Amino acid sequence: MLPEYYYLTLSAILFSMGAMGVLIRRNAIIIFMSVELMLNAANLAFVSFARMHATINGQIFVFFVMAVAAAEVAVGLALIVAIFETKQSIDIDQMNSMKG
């Protein structure tokens, strides 16, 4: 059996990759995928901690996080499709119709 420490390291790496992805990438869909990576990194951490503490809470939280992620996917995809219909682009560097 691998110790939980390994899973937690993996989860931290995944979370960092997701956060970096959001900050570096310019395509809305890929940014969105990076956010999902962050949520799933949290899921992995929840499950690992649940085994570490020998409690079941952590595993139940994963269900909620997954459901929330699905709701976000639905709204996010719809928004991206809507803006693509108007603008023919989902590059967030071109989202500059407002200036201050």
Three-state DSSP at 63 gives helix
Which residue from 5, 74, 89, 91 is in contact with another protein, where contact means CB under 8 A?
74
H or E element that contains 65: helix 57-87
CA pair distance 89, 23, nearest whole angstrom:
19
Angle CA(33)–CA(39)–CA(43) in degrees, nearest 5? Answer: 135
Q: Which residue in 72, 89, 91, 93 binds another protein (CB under 8 A)?
A: 72
**What is the contact surface with another protein in residues (CB under 8 A)?**
8, 11, 15, 18-19, 22, 28, 31-32, 35, 38-39, 41-42, 45-46, 48-49, 52-53, 55, 57-58, 61, 63-68, 70-83, 85-87, 92, 95, 97-98, 100
